[in-house]
Structure 1
């Protein structure tokens, strides 16, 4: 059911939602970018709709709500193991269609691709999603090419226009607060882009044979292996385990799950100091083929959702979209001609 609310009414709705849920949305963090002169838009807790950034793509995705950068799993000592407590409240996450599609990738990896991840599931079961209407594209977006520009898998959809908010409500729990606002009922269709200036085309003949191509050598010189692309990506989920021992008791501590990246030096480090994929080009190859080939072979759908964050955040101006459109066809031509 659709409703039209003014700012005061939506503030009231948010206040009621906040009784049970923490609300997360793209939010401006001034002076916290790469220098004190730069602002950044990332996900944070909000209490009122005025805090939501609508006119910019967030520099980082909503994945940190479901999979924190650093997450304590349990505490231990010589005799006992104590599970870390789950968040006290559930979460409402406001996100755009591409990021909502990214949640589908998370669910596949953590809930369907083998045994369910307990720590992910206990958070995921208490999350509601509010789809932010996306009426304009941002630089480097190619969501239309990836089929992620629209979504109907939301609890509430929210459009904003001329200071008015238009909600399509599917979830009864969230809908109760909206209906109590006694707002006029209207038809609401979530805003979405229908075309992007940037389009990508994954080669139909793409295969693992491209791993032998020389197209990856270029990235040995360009990529600095900083991992910014993967940390900003809404579908990258790699993590490592860390045991932290307390200073006052070296036999007690906590185990943490910490986000990491296939671009980092220690990602493939094994016993004896052997490191697979030492070169930047090898790591770029691993990342790109995971996004465009290997994940789809397992799941049936592409991993990349076309948000464009990796292109926007790379300090060396390496473009995933350019790699897909140019390097992958070149690489496949090379390996097929050499067969």
Structure 2
């Protein structure tokens, strides 16, 4: 079922849906950017369709909805522990095709990576439906076409923004919210077919330990500052650490939190006794690259990176991950 309706009519739909859903989309946060006069586009709850930023790529991915930056796992006292109360409402997220592919990577890590599922991720994941934003042109630094993540049919509904809104509704549960609004049309979303950035993927069968000793990694030792921005804006980076927070009134009471971590950040590999791996920043870039385009695919049959380009957008040293992939392909040979 596909319909066309006005922005005003769609706001009525949002009003109906908000009774059962918390609705998230990329929104503009004015004056909160890297510099005082710049903005940030990141995910937040919306009440009006005009709040959705469609002409720019979000600086942060929708990952933080499914995998929060900080997540309390349980509260503890001297003789008991209790998990936080669950939110009753379901989640509806507006996102682009590459980010939907990113969710499949998170699902693989948290739900299909061994015999045990990550219950905290699973509880949120079961509540989520995806409202795909049509993406026909892509943005600066995107290379989703090269990664094969430029299109998908895995969505609850798809939306095209124009003078009016065209919507392809696949989920029976959402159709009631559109009853009596708009007119039926023929519509299927279109997808970007060519990015400004092209990436040649390496033939992973040719990768061996000799790649680890290549001169190319020394460049990143000199340029990377280990800020971790590439990890934290990435849709598929999924590393975390634990923090126990003791309350001031009674240090035996507190909470345990799961908090984002990243392979580029100092302290990520620290062990007991002060030992740590990958002190060299170039080694960290090598580790991340191999994870994104080598070992994840060896295990699961597809690359971890989805080509959203946010890492290139966010890096203060202008390090390009797409260039890094191309360099690896030049050394070991291109994927056939």
- Give the structure-1-normalised TM-score: 0.95
How many angstroms apart in 2 are the aligned matches of 1:35 and 1:266?
Answer: 27
How many angstroms apart in 2 are the aligned matches of 1:329 and 1:106?
Answer: 25
Task: Give the alignment of 1:1-339 within 5 angstroms.
Answer: 1-114=1-114, 115-162=116-163, 164-178=164-178, 180-204=179-203, 205-209=205-209, 210-326=211-327, 328-332=328-332
Q: Which moved more, 1:198-207 or 1:123-132?
A: 198-207
Aligned residues of 1:206 and 1:293 also touching (Cα < 8 A): no
How far the C-alpha of 1:35 sits from its partner, in A, is: 2.3
What secondary structure sits across from 1:103 in the alignment? helix
How many angstroms apart in 2 are the aligned matches of 1:172 and 1:134?
Answer: 24
Aligned residues of 2:28 and 2:40 also touching (Cα < 8 A): yes
How many angstroms apart in 2 are the aligned matches of 1:127 and 1:191?
Answer: 23
Number of aligned residues: 330
How many angstroms apart in 1 are the aligned matches of 2:6 and 2:312?
Answer: 36
How many angstroms apart in 2 are the aligned matches of 1:182 and 1:77?
Answer: 52
1:7-62 superposed Cα distances (whole Å, 9 cap, x missing partner): 11100001111111110001000000112211010000001100000000000000
How many angstroms apart in 1 are the aligned matches of 2:170 and 2:149?
Answer: 20
1:73-108 superposed Cα distances (whole Å, 9 cap, x missing partner): 100111111011222311100000000100000111
Aligned residues of 2:31 and 2:38 also touching (Cα < 8 A): yes
Aligned residues of 1:94 and 1:130 also touching (Cα < 8 A): yes
What secondary structure sits across from 1:23 in the alignment? strand
How many angstroms apart in 2 are the aligned matches of 1:100 and 1:246?
Answer: 38
How far the C-alpha of 1:208 sits from its partner, in A, is: 3.6
Q: Which moved more, 1:190-199 or 1:241-250?
A: 190-199
Aligned residues of 2:136 and 2:193 also touching (Cα < 8 A): no
Aligned residues of 1:17 and 1:177 also touching (Cα < 8 A): yes
How far the C-alpha of 1:213 sits from its partner, in A, is: 2.1
How many angstroms apart in 1 are the aligned matches of 2:322 and 2:121?
Answer: 30
Aligned residues of 1:131 and 1:154 also touching (Cα < 8 A): yes
How many angstroms apart in 1 are the aligned matches of 2:314 and 2:266?
Answer: 20
How many angstroms apart in 2 are the aligned matches of 1:88 and 1:99?
Answer: 25
Unaligned stretches of 5+ residues in structure 2: none
| Runs of 4+ with >2 A deviation | 329-333
Aligned residues of 1:42 and 1:58 also touching (Cα < 8 A): yes
What secondary structure sits across from 2:184 in the alignment? coil
Distance change in 2, residues 1:208/1:176 (3 Å): farther
How many angstroms apart in 1 are the aligned matches of 2:25 and 2:329?
Answer: 38
Q: Which moved more, 1:6-15 or 1:208-217?
A: 208-217
1:144-195 superposed Cα distances (whole Å, 9 cap, x missing partner): 1111111100001111122x111111111112101x1332111111131111
What secondary structure sits across from 2:278 in the alignment? coil
How many angstroms apart in 1 are the aligned matches of 2:195 and 2:25?
Answer: 24
How far the C-alpha of 1:231 sits from its partner, in A, is: 0.3
Aligned residues of 1:144 and 1:195 also touching (Cα < 8 A): yes
What secondary structure sits across from 2:91 in the alignment? strand
